[in-house]
Structure 1
Amino acid sequence: MVKTSWNIFKLDLKHISKNWVAALLIGGLTFLPSLYAWLNIYATWDPYAHTDQLPVAIVNEDEGAMVRDKQIDVGKELINTLQDNKDMDWSFTTSEEAMDGVEYGDYFAAIFIPKDFSSKLATVTSGEPKKAEIHYFVNEKLNSIAPKITEKGASVIVDKVSRRFISTVNGVVLDLFNELGIEIEKDLPDIKKFEQYIFDIQKQLPAIQQTLEGIVTDANSAKRIINKAQQLLPEAKRTTNSGLKTINDTLDQLTTAQNRLEAAAPRIKADLEKIATITNETNDFLKQIQQLSPDFTEWNRTTQAIDDRVTGSIEKLDGLEQDLLNIKNVAEQLNGEQANATDASLSQPIDVALLKVDNLKNLLNEIQQNARTMDSLVQGEEERLRNSINDLQKIAENTSIQANSFLKEYTDTIEPYIRKEIAQALKTLTSAKALLTEVQNTIPEVQQTLTSADTHLTQGKQQVESALNQYPYVYEKVNQLANRIEDIQGTTDINEIIDLLQNNPQAERSFFEEPIVLNETKLFPIKNYGTGMTPFYTVLSIWVGCLLLISLLSTDINREGTFTARQIYVGRLFTFGLIGCIQTLIVMTGDIVLLGVTVKEPLPFFLFGLLISIVFMSIVYTLVSVFGDVGKAMAIILLVLQIAGSGGTYPIMLLPSFFQWINPFLPFTYAIDLMREAVGGIVWARTIKDLLFLAVVGLAFITFGIVFKEKMNKATNHLLAKSRETDLFH
């Protein structure tokens, strides 16, 4: 059978070589599948390389905002950034033009930056931050992939703004942290002092409690004193008013005494001078009488003259005495009513003056009496008369001396002293009046001060009592704080905190702008998207080549009785397999040479491709050879299922459950995986599994064709003949 099948294969080659039409058709069939692969691979070579030609509208309506007296305009900054960005064809336009463009298909998408964009970002400094929004409009009916690309662009914009904003905010915060660290370092001695202060307070808490209790006690005592002082104020006011009245009265009396003294002083001085003159004259007169003979007639005139003179002197002395008594009465009244207001004592010199006046009066009375008694001595007792005259003259002389002495003493001592004392008393009383007047004026202020002090003392007492009531809480909190400081000192070094706060703000800002860097390591690097799609489109083109061959070439030989069905199956399998291998070699050579696909393992790439071609050809050829036109339909259905369920374009995990279920049973699954191993790098455990599955499937279909072709052909031929009766099928 093998020899006959081989002869059929050689005969097919002979016919192809001698018939130029057949050769031309076969040649076209060998190249046609490669075009399918090459064009699709080239089209998907780098689909994101030309996104700069994808039109996207940008509308900036941001009005900016003020943040801590600083103007920010994030929308404007974003526009400036996009103007230098070439990822897409950004068009900066108005909202109306943008929406019209998206609706009519001029733009694939439109991105709106609203008016409150910056202001919402600025709320991060407030207690209630609000998230800013970017509005994205897309027309998805234009293309299924473009919206995903534009959406990625919008996401990139949001990500850039977010990272820039986070970087800026964190930069400000980190600058503050750095400054805080520097300040803490400067204030470290004060911090240490504060810690010690807390510990000192903790030790002094019992003393503080005693002090507060003492303050409350002292406040109560002070309040009682203030209350007593407030009670005494009316009495002090009355006493002050009474004292002022007394001083005013005394001042009036002193003024009166001073006026009287001023008025009486010339008269007293004149009277004293007169008395001194009279006593001198009397003394001189008596001295003259002593030289004369007693003449009773003359004596009578003399005694009468002496009597008249003495009487006048006595009257003058009575007037002087009355003036002195008036002054004394005022002095005594002053001493009695204002003993505490002044030290003036006028009674003593006045008493001395009165005493001397009284002595003078006595002497003058004695002169007068002696002069009057001398009349009785004149008659018969001349000697005795002369003795009486001598005595009288001595008295007169003594009186004259005392009168002169009193005149000098009054003029030089008594009157100046009285004047001085009265002036001093007036000055003292005037000062006392001013003092009492000030006291009187101060009493309302004192009363107000005492009232205010009472109020403040009450409030202070209440506050101290409140502090005393809060003492247990303060005691507990201070102890907790002290214990916490001790714990922190035991577990944390403040110098480490300072080192942590003192950082490089620019470096930290860069860190927070991109805190995590994706360190990508490509175990099996694929240069571009086209290279990644090469396994899928190469495998797909091999299957398509098989379908083209069985669509144009016959799987049977029209020589009845010459060959058996089994011989024909094997012989034509060689022919189809050879053409399929040629198709595959052309596709893979074009992938590398024409498209420049980077293949990690070129030799396995070709070997795996040839194996896949043989397996696919055995599947498709067997289905058509055994089942005829039904087999063609089965091959097409199998192609559709494999395109969707093999995971060639999307990961199988993303496909519906039905395709996930059939995926392990599809030849495409293993063929694509095998080609990926050759393109990216071989993992032999996976490669061997794929090779074994494909080999088993290929052998299974070949075995099925050899065993069931003849039996199945009888049934399909009957169906074929029946279908041709309609003239619809060939």
Structure 2
Amino acid sequence: MADILRIFKRDMCGIFRNVLVLIIVIGLCVLPALYAWFNIYANWDPYGNTGNIAIAVVNLDKGWTKNDSETVNMGDGVVESLKQKDTIGWKFVKSEEKAVEGVKSGRYYSALVIDEQFTYSMYHGVADNIENPRITYYLNDKKNAVATKITDSAASTVKSSINKQFIKVLAEQVFKETNVISDDMKEKDAVGQMTGKLEAVSESLAQYDAMIDTFIDGNKALSQVSKETGEALKDGQDKLAKGTNRLEESKNDLQSTRQSFDSFSADITSALAKVKSSIDDISKQISDANLSQDVNTIQSDVQNIKQSADALKGNIDTLEDKINKIKPDMDDTHVGTLISNIELVKEQTRSMIESTLSVDLSGKTQNSEETLKSVMSALSSTASAVNDTYTSQIVPQVDGMISSMSSVLDSMQTTLGNLSQTSGSMAQVFDGVDSTLDTLNMSMTQLKGVIESASDKINTTLNRLEAASEDEKADIIVNLLSGNPEKLGSFFSEPVQVSDNYIYEIANYGSGVAPFYTTLAIWVGMTILVSLVKVHADAKGLGKLKPSQLYFGRYLTFFLLSQVQTFIIVLGDLYLLKIQCVHPVSFIVTGAVTSLTFSLLIYSLTISFGDIGKALAVVVMVLQIAGSGGTYPIEALPAFFRAVYIFFPFPYAINAMRECIGGMYENTLGKCYITLLLFGAASLVIGLVIRKPFIRLNHFIEKRMEDTEML
């Protein structure tokens, strides 16, 4: 321990004895803080300056004149409303062409164009063949990615505001009409008539309610049928797919049969040619009267005829087997004729073989020349008959049948493909029908609730009318129909009020990003230190020291400088920028723990792997900037970062600082501290254990880099 402190003391003396070195060290301590402070301040309240984002607004609305000759222009109302809102830099332009050109040139981030029939559509929204009130939105995505999101939000706000106004207008019109009716009732004795109308309305509502129940039940039954039909179609699709596969196998088998037949046909033709050649040779020798002299040659030719005939018979038998295999898929009439012809060829071939057996010339001539000529003539006739039958009948029939079957299979494949496509389309149709029925049932259920509510109110009124005196009945009906149109319109335009309840509220965006930029600055500060300050302590003048003593002796210097950097950063966050911080003391402690972990990790990487370790520290920093969840939620990042972020220290340091800034939840801060200290322990393993095998390699790399006279 004493030797470690001696190294540390020598380093401190070296810093404070040299004024220039001291100034550089002070600069190294302040520089990371500037990095953090500038970034936090730049992001302090970006959405508070959205008034500088220009959005063009064009009002083409012509307005509309109501029955009472009052002219209204809702487009002008929208423009006046936007003029009172300074959250966006609204620029009011006269023509749509100028607005669009401004968006293209980048002068405006986006543009809103109010349609000519805007007011008319607002007041006639429930009439037939009337389009919805329209505002056209032009957007330049190229100019700035974040700005377009802000303008999208502004456009959505305008749309929401107009939708509220639209509903409010309709509701006001309805309730103004009911007020007119109630005023008329005050002047006329129409209680009896109105009571009758209410009873009729009550009965009609009851009928509508029953009709809706029937409609919903019918839809449910239809939905069930649709689901069953869709499932049946999907099952049919599976069977069609299997049938298509089997059909493809049949086509392959047929192609194989064609190839086999072509091979057999070649063999049969070759055998017939050999038979005919041998017969011609024997006939020539007999005609030349050289029978006695050429007995051996003739006997050899006869033997060749027999062998060729035997081969021919074997090929014919094989052909017959092939035909029998594909027989179930062929026309019985054609197959019967084909097999009959094959049997004829087989019989003719057997006759040929028997004729050759009657020729025996071994040793002497047992048959006269005339007899031999007769036999040869018969053999020649039989061979010709076999050849004619095969070439003129069997080959064309087999080719025709295979071609016919191939056409049939192609047609079946096309048909199955069409069926599969049709069934797939029908399955999608039934899925859409099922979804539509569900939506329709939901709408009908909501309508049923409205009708039941109105029916209950009317029935309650009728019961009160029945029990009331004649003088009270008029007041009851007037109260039913009367109301404040503006108040009721406001209610229907925004019936639900959302109450915001912030948990761990952050005062501004700068305070929200402070954990990320503070953590990043601590890492950057330590990276700068290992780049400018030597990590290897010189043992000269200190005696023989262990590598671990040299490691900790120099690390104490880096630890102290990193802690000073961090202390300046967090104090500036708290008292210069005045970020929100619920637990400032814990925030300072968190910075110290983060500094300890980061300094150990970066120092160990550098001392163990040299310049490669410095590069690794930069690579790890880049990965953590992109995938630590410091700016965007980790759930919104690509799958790679979601998978690896837990293996880096940044997320735990950032979360610990968030606990201090926004408020603590149970023992989250303690868990973050423990995880950071585990990273520190792993860093010690790198610096004290893993480092040893790389000492010579690092020395070799450093020497080679020095040899370049550049690094």
Shorter-chain TM range is: 0.5 to 0.7
Alignment of 1:333-348 (within 5 A): none
Alignment of 1:295-374 (within 5 A): none
Alignment of 1:671-710 (within 5 A): 671-710=653-692
Q: What secondary structure, in the 3-state scheme, does the structure 2 residue paired with 1:163 have?
A: helix
Distance 1:66 1:38, change over 3 A: same
Residues 565 and 709 in structure 1, CA contact (< 8 A), matched pair in contact too: no
Q: Matched residues in 2 for 1:605 and 1:504: separation? A: 56
CA-to-aligned-CA distance 1:70-103 (integer Å, 9 cap, x gap): 5332212212222222122222123333233222
| C-alpha deviation, 1:669, in angstroms | 0.8
- Kindly provide the amino acid, as one letter, of the partner of residue 147 in structure 1: T
- Kindly provide the amino acid, as one letter, of the partner of residue 555 in structure 2: L
Q: Which piece of structure 1 moves more, 166-175 or 599-608?
A: 166-175
| C-alpha deviation, 1:125, in angstroms | 3.7
| 1:602 alignment counterpart | 584
CA-to-aligned-CA distance 1:425-444 (integer Å, 9 cap, x gap): xxxxxxxxxxxxxxxxxxxx
- Kindly provide the amino acid, as one letter, of the partner of residue 707 in structure 2: E
Distance 1:115 1:577, change over 3 A: same
| 2:7 alignment counterpart | 8
Q: What secondary structure, in the 3-state scheme, does the structure 2 residue paired with 1:599 have?
A: coil
| 1:138 alignment counterpart | 139
Q: What secondary structure, in the 3-state scheme, does the structure 1 residue paired with 2:36 have?
A: helix
User: Match for 1:717 among 699, 708, 711?
Assistant: 699
| 1:576 alignment counterpart | 558
Distance 1:536 1:500, change over 3 A: farther
Distance 1:582 1:501, change over 3 A: farther
Distance 1:511 1:117, change over 3 A: same
| 1:530 alignment counterpart | 510
CA-to-aligned-CA distance 1:604-630 (integer Å, 9 cap, x gap): 010011101111111111111111111
| 2:299 alignment counterpart | none
Distance 1:502 1:618, change over 3 A: farther
| 1:510 alignment counterpart | 490
Distance 1:506 1:494, change over 3 A: farther
Distance 1:22 1:72, change over 3 A: same
Q: Matched residues in 2 for 1:21 and 1:196: separation? A: 100
| Alignment partner of 1:21 is 2:20 | yes
| 2:320 alignment counterpart | none
Residues 537 and 551 in structure 2, CA contact (< 8 A), matched pair in contact too: no
Distance 1:60 1:695, change over 3 A: same
Distance 1:138 1:491, change over 3 A: closer
Distance 1:571 1:502, change over 3 A: farther
| C-alpha deviation, 1:545, in angstroms | 0.7
| 1:274 alignment counterpart | none
| 2:651 alignment counterpart | 669
CA-to-aligned-CA distance 1:119-161 (integer Å, 9 cap, x gap): 3333314134422222222223222222222222222222222
Can you give the 5+ residue segments of structure 2 that lack an aligned partner in the other structure?
A: 202-451, 465-475
Residues 597 and 677 in structure 2, CA contact (< 8 A), matched pair in contact too: yes
Residues 539 and 550 in structure 2, CA contact (< 8 A), matched pair in contact too: no
Distance 1:197 1:134, change over 3 A: closer
Q: What secondary structure, in the 3-state scheme, does the structure 1 residue paired with 2:71 have?
A: strand
- Kindly provide the amino acid, as one letter, of the partner of residue 666 in structure 1: F
- Kindly provide the amino acid, as one letter, of the partner of residue 61 in structure 2: D
- Kindly provide the amino acid, as one letter, of the partner of residue 689 in structure 2: V
Distance 1:717 1:176, change over 3 A: farther
Residues 60 and 79 in structure 1, CA contact (< 8 A), matched pair in contact too: yes
Distance 1:113 1:577, change over 3 A: same
| C-alpha deviation, 1:182, in angstroms | 7.4
| C-alpha deviation, 1:530, in angstroms | 0.7
Distance 1:715 1:49, change over 3 A: same
Q: Matched residues in 2 for 1:662 and 1:684: separation? A: 26
Q: Matched residues in 1 for 2:191 and 2:74: separation? A: 40
| 2:62 alignment counterpart | 63
Q: What secondary structure, in the 3-state scheme, does the structure 2 residue paired with 1:107 have?
A: coil
Q: Matched residues in 2 for 1:495 and 1:181: separation? A: 19
| TM-score in terms of structure 2 length | 0.58
Residues 582 and 663 in structure 2, CA contact (< 8 A), matched pair in contact too: yes
User: Match for 2:499 among 494, 508, 519?
Assistant: 519
| Alignment partner of 1:640 is 2:622 | yes
Distance 1:500 1:599, change over 3 A: farther
Distance 1:689 1:494, change over 3 A: farther
| 1:653 alignment counterpart | 635
| C-alpha deviation, 1:602, in angstroms | 0.6
Residues 67 and 122 in structure 1, CA contact (< 8 A), matched pair in contact too: no
| 2:612 alignment counterpart | 630
| Alignment partner of 1:75 is 2:75 | yes
Residues 62 and 115 in structure 1, CA contact (< 8 A), matched pair in contact too: yes
Residues 570 and 706 in structure 1, CA contact (< 8 A), matched pair in contact too: no
Alignment of 1:152-163 (within 5 A): 152-163=153-164
| 1:408 alignment counterpart | none
Q: Matched residues in 2 for 1:41 and 1:97: separation? A: 38
Q: Matched residues in 2 for 1:724 and 1:15: separation? A: 25
Q: Matched residues in 1 for 2:74 and 2:640: separation? A: 49
User: Match for 2:462 among 466, 490, 494?
Assistant: 494
Residues 199 and 462 in structure 2, CA contact (< 8 A), matched pair in contact too: no
Q: Matched residues in 2 for 1:518 and 1:641: separation? A: 40
Q: What secondary structure, in the 3-state scheme, does the structure 2 residue paired with 1:523 have?
A: coil
- Kindly provide the amino acid, as one letter, of the partner of residue 51 in structure 1: T
Q: Matched residues in 1 for 2:193 and 2:96: separation? A: 60
Q: Matched residues in 1 for 2:110 and 2:558: separation? A: 50
| Alignment partner of 1:544 is 2:524 | yes
CA-to-aligned-CA distance 1:294-347 (integer Å, 9 cap, x gap): xxxxxxxxxxxxxxxxxxxxxxxxxxxxxxxxxxxxxxxxxxxxxxxxxxxxxx
| 2:166 alignment counterpart | 165
User: Match for 2:570 among 576, 584, 588?
Assistant: 588
| C-alpha deviation, 1:523, in angstroms | 1.7
Distance 1:195 1:89, change over 3 A: closer
| TM-score in terms of structure 1 length | 0.57
- Kindly provide the amino acid, as one letter, of the partner of residue 106 in structure 1: R
| 1:47 alignment counterpart | 46
Identity fraction in percent: 34
Let me know the Cα RMSD of the aligned residues.
2.9
Distance 1:196 1:8, change over 3 A: closer
Alignment of 1:107-126 (within 5 A): 107-126=108-127
Q: Matched residues in 1 for 2:200 and 2:104: separation? A: 73
| C-alpha deviation, 1:35, in angstroms | 0.4
| C-alpha deviation, 1:701, in angstroms | 1.0
Distance 1:5 1:187, change over 3 A: farther
Q: Matched residues in 1 for 2:90 and 2:41: separation? A: 27
| 1:88 alignment counterpart | 88
| C-alpha deviation, 1:551, in angstroms | 1.0
Residues 34 and 586 in structure 1, CA contact (< 8 A), matched pair in contact too: yes
Residues 140 and 147 in structure 1, CA contact (< 8 A), matched pair in contact too: yes
Distance 1:86 1:685, change over 3 A: same
- Kindly provide the amino acid, as one letter, of the partner of residue 167 in structure 2: I
Q: What secondary structure, in the 3-state scheme, does the structure 2 residue paired with 1:169 have?
A: helix
Alignment of 1:195-344 (within 5 A): none
Distance 1:569 1:117, change over 3 A: same
| C-alpha deviation, 1:23, in angstroms | 1.0
| C-alpha deviation, 1:558, in angstroms | 3.7
Residues 539 and 668 in structure 1, CA contact (< 8 A), matched pair in contact too: yes
Higher radius of gyration, 1 or 2: 1
- Kindly provide the amino acid, as one letter, of the partner of residue 708 in structure 2: T
- Kindly provide the amino acid, as one letter, of the partner of residue 514 in structure 1: E
| 1:411 alignment counterpart | none
- Kindly provide the amino acid, as one letter, of the partner of residue 695 in structure 1: L
Residues 566 and 710 in structure 1, CA contact (< 8 A), matched pair in contact too: no
Q: Matched residues in 2 for 1:116 and 1:644: separation? A: 49
Can you give the 5+ residue segments of structure 1 that lack an aligned partner in the other structure?
A: 199-483
Q: Matched residues in 1 for 2:458 and 2:131: separation? A: 41
Q: Matched residues in 2 for 1:686 and 1:183: separation? A: 69
Q: What secondary structure, in the 3-state scheme, does the structure 2 residue paired with 1:124 have?
A: coil
CA-to-aligned-CA distance 1:658-705 (integer Å, 9 cap, x gap): 111112222111111110100011113221221111111112212331
Q: What secondary structure, in the 3-state scheme, does the structure 1 residue paired with 2:159 have?
A: helix
Q: What secondary structure, in the 3-state scheme, does the structure 2 residue paired with 1:550 have?
A: helix
